[in-house]
Amino acid sequence: MAMRLVAGSRLTLPLADRVVAPKTNSITCVQVRARRAIRFCFVWIRRPGCGVVSARLRLFPMAAFEHALVLLLLTTVLSVIARWLPWPGPITYVVGASLAAFWPLFPRIELAPGFFFLCFVPPLLFADGWLMPLRDFLAARRPILLLATGLVVFTTLLVGLVAYWLVPGMPLAMAFALGAVVSPTDAVAVNAITEKLKVPARLSAVLNGESLTNDATGLVAFKFALGAMIAGTFSLRAAAMEFVILALGGVLVGLATGYLIGRMRDLLRAARSSDVFIEVTVSLMTPYAAYLAASLLGCSNILSVVAAGLYSGWRDPLRTDVQTRQTAWAVWAVVLFWLNGLAFVLLGLQLPTILATISEKFAPGQLLLFAGAVSAAAIIARLAWIFPGAYLPFLLPVISRTEKLPTWQAVLVTGWAGMRGTITLAAALSIPLFQGEGQPFPARDLVIFLAVSVILVTLLLQGMSLESLICRLGLKADDTQVQEDRLARIAAVEAGLKVLRAAESASAPPEEGAALGEVVAEYEHRLAELTAEGETRASAQRRRSTARRHRLEALRAERAAIDRLWRRDVITDDTHRPLQQLLDHEEAMLLGGSGQNGK
C-alpha cells in the first residue's frame, strides 16, 4: 500500500491536494474507512474568498506509521554502513535507498512537496541559528553577508544561465530556481571537517555564518523564482521591495516568536508548572511556531525561523537548568540525525522514478552533460567570487583600518568549502507537482536531478579533498579559543574559591570546617594549575591527564562491580539504575574535561 504524506503551506500545497471548504467556511472531518487502522494528519487549506489558512483533518491508513518505522530502520542501517565507507554519508543514503526502491516488497513512498519543506527546513534552520555563536557572527558580519547575498545572487544567475542555455525547453524562471536551490552550502558537511582539523576561529565563524545566512537568502530567492514561474512575469524592482518587506517582517516575527515562547517558559518555571520534558518539547516546537506564524502573516518564514534560532541560542543557555540543557542537547542531536538522514533516504527512494521520467526526454549522455555543467558552474561561481569578494573591499579605507587582511590560504579554503546538502535537497523536493491550472510543473524532475547531482559532486569532489587541502596549506587554529577557555576557567574557579573562603571564615562545627577545608584545597590546587606557566604548567597538565586516566579506570571497575551484583540479583533495578547513572555522570565529566569526547 502506498503512503501519502500530505501537509504544507498555502504557497506550496499542490493543486491536486487542496481541499475546497464548504460555503459556510466551517471545518469538517471526513471519516475514511481503512483496511487496517487509521491515523490523523493536518492538511493546511485556504478558505475561499479570504487569506486565512485553516486546518482540516484527514485520516490515513496505519500503514503510514509502519512505513515511517521502515524509513527510520533503513536510515539506521545505512548510517552503520556509511561509517565503513570512504565517502560522505549522504551518498550512502541516496545509493542505498535507491537500491531499496527496486525491491518489490519495499513500500512505495509518495511525498507531497509542502510536507517535505514544512517537516525538514524549520528545525534544520533553527538548529543552525541556535548553534551560531552570536559574537563571532557579528564580528564577521561583513564577509558573511557579502557571501550570503552577493555570492548567492551570483551563483543563482550563473547556474541559471548555464542551465537555460544548455537544457532545451527549460523555462528561464525554473533555471534561476535551480540556481537558487544550489546556492546554499551545507553547515553539517563543513563543520565535520573544520571541527576535526581546528581551523582558525575567524575562518570557522565565516563558514558557519555563511551556511546559516545563505540558507535563508537562497531559499528566499528560490521562492521568488517559483513565484515568477507561476505568475509568468517578474519585476526586479517589485521583487526587491517585496523582499525587503518580507525579510524585515520575517525577522521581526521570528524575534517576537522566540521572545514570547521564552517568556512563556519563564512563567511556567516560575509557577512550577514545567519540567525538563515540557521544556524540550517546547524547544522542538519553536521552529514550527516561527515558520507557521510568519506564513500566516505573509512574511518570510525562512528568515523568521533563522531569527528565532539566533534569539533562542542567545537566550536559552542562561535561562535553562543543567538537566534541561543536557536533555535538549541529546534530543536535538537525535532529531537532526533523523532529519539529515531521512532527507537523503527519501530522495533515494524517489530517484528511480525521477530518472525514469527525465530519461523519456533526454538521453543518458545528455543528462551526464547537464549534471557536469551545472555542478561545474556552481563550483566555479564560488571560486570566481571568493577572491575578489575577499580583497576588493579592503580598497576602502574604512575596512582596511578596522579589519585584518585574510590570507590567501584561508580564502582558498573558503572557496573550496562549498559542499551542498540537506537544505538544497529540501528546497528541490518542495517544488510543487502542479501549476495553478493543474498542469504538471515544468522541468520539476530535471531540476531535482540536477540539484542532487550538485550535492553528490560537491560532497565527493570538495568534501573528500577539503581536509587534505587544509593540511597542505598549513592552516591551523590560532590560540584564541585556548586563551578564552583558560580565562573562563580561571574566572570560574576564582568565583567558587571566593564563596568557599567566605563560608570558611564563618563559624562552623569542626566536621564541616574540615570538609570545607578539603574543598578549598582542591580549588586552590586547580587555580594553581591554571595559572602556572612554562614547564610547571606542562607538568601540571601531565599529572592531570594521568589522574584522569586512573579515575576512568576506577570508575569502569566500579560499574563492572555493580553490574555483576545486578546480574546475580543481589541488588534490584531500583538500586542499580541510580548508581549506574551516577557513575555515567562522573565519567562524562572526566571525558568532557579532557576534550576526548568519549574516545
| CATH class of the domain comprising 109-478 | mainly alpha
Q: pLDDT of 124-165, one tens digit each?
A: 889 988 988 888 888 888 999 999 899 999 999 999 999 999
Cell 569532489 sits at which residue?
A: 461
Q: What percent of the chain has pLDDT over 70?
A: 86
- pLDDT one-digit tens code per residue, 432-441: 888 767 788 8
Listed residue (411, 408, 417) closest to 468, CA to CA: 417
Instruction: Give whole-number Cα distances, 223 to 295, 489, 492, in Å.
Output: 13, 47, 48
- Cα–Cα dist 119/46, whole Å: 19
Give the torsion sign (CA, 585, 591, 592, 597).
Answer: negative
The Cβ-side half-sphere exposure at 598, using a 13 Å CA radius, reads 2
Q: Is the pLDDT of residue 202 over 70?
A: yes
pLDDT at 435: 77
Q: CA-CA-CA-CA torsion for 269, 275, 276, 282, nearest 10 degrees?
A: -70
Residue 507, pLDDT score: 63
Given a contact cutoff of 8 angstroms between Cβ atoms, the answer to whether 375 and 458 are in contact is yes
Q: What is the spatial distance between Cα 170 and Cα 143, in angstroms, rounded to a whole number?
A: 34
- Among residues 54, 75, 63, the alpha carbon closest in space to that of 9 is found at 54
Q: What is the pLDDT of residues 17-54, one digit of tens each?
A: 333 333 333 333 333 333 333 233 333 333 333 333 33
For 396-429, the pLDDT digits (tens) are 988 988 888 999 999 999 999 999 988 888 888 8
- CA pair distance 333, 331, nearest whole angstrom: 5
* C-alpha grid cell, residue 27: 471545518
Per-residue pLDDT tens for 169-181?
899 999 999 999 9
Buried b / exposed e over 332-350, threshold 16 CB at 10 Å, is beeebebbbbbbbbbbbbb
State the pLDDT at residue 307.
92
56-84 per-position pLDDT tens digit? 444 455 667 788 889 999 999 999 999 99
> In the structure, how many helices (H) and strands (E) does the chain have?
23, 4
Mean pLDDT of 512-517: 81
C-alpha dihedral sign at 218, 219, 222, 223: negative
Q: Is the four-CA dihedral 291, 297, 303, 306 of positive or negative sign?
A: negative
Q: Where are the alpha helices (DSSP H) in 362-479?
A: 364-391, 397-402, 408-416, 422-429, 444-458, 464-473
Q: Is the dihedral of CA 419, 425, 427, 431 positive or negative?
A: positive
Question: Which pLDDT belongs to residue 413?
Answer: 93
Please give the pLDDT value at position 535. Answer: 66
C-alpha cell at 190: 563543513
| pLDDT at residue 89, rounded to an integer | 83
The one-letter amino acid code at 589 reads M
Comparing CA positions, the residue from 392, 389, 393, 378 lying closest to residue 412 is 389
Between 375 and 596, where is the model more confident?
A: 375
Rounded to an integer, what distance in angstroms lies between the CA atom of residue 470 and that of residue 11? 42
Residue 18 to residue 43: CA distance in whole angstroms = 8
> For residue 133, which amino acid is it?
P
Report the pLDDT value the prediction gives residue 529, as an integer from 0 to 100: 80
Q: Say if CB 163 and CB 170 are below 8 A apart.
A: yes
pLDDT at position 61, please? 57
pTM of the predicted structure, to 2 decimals: 0.77
Spatial distance between the Cα atoms of 330 and 51, rounded to a whole number of angstroms: 39
**202 or 14, which is more confident:** 202
Would you place residue 593 in the very low, low, confident or very high pLDDT band (cuts 50, 70, 90)?
low
- Across the chain, mean pLDDT equals 82
What percentage of the chain reaches a pLDDT higher than 90? 33
Which of 255, 271, 264 lies closest to 309, judged by CA? 255
Of 502, 405, 531, nearest in space to 143 by CA: 405
Give every CB contact of residue 527 below 8 A, 6+ residues apart in sequence: 490, 493, 494, 497
Q: How many residues are recorded in the chain?
A: 599
Is 561's pLDDT higher than 90?
Answer: yes
Write out 561-599 in H/E/C secondary structure: HHHHHHHCCCCCHHHHHHHHHHHHHHHHHHHHHHCCCCC
Q: What is the pLDDT of residues 576-591, one digit of tens each?
A: 999 988 888 888 888 7
- Alpha helix positions (H), 478-531: 480-505, 510-531
Q: Are 297 and 253 contacting, i.e. CB atoms less than 8 angstroms apart? A: yes
Higher-confidence position of 119 and 253? 253
Confidence of residue 189 (pLDDT cuts 50, 70, 90): confident
- Span of 249-263, 315-329, 374-388, 424-438 with lowest mean pLDDT: 424-438
- Cell matching residue 215: 540558507
What is the pLDDT, as a whole number, of residue 33? 34
CA–CA separation, 275 and 268 (whole Å): 9
Mean pLDDT of 491-516: 81
Could you give the CA distance from residue 208 to residue 200 in angstroms, rounded to a whole number? 12
For residues 451 and 377, the answer to whether their CB atoms sit within 8 Å is no
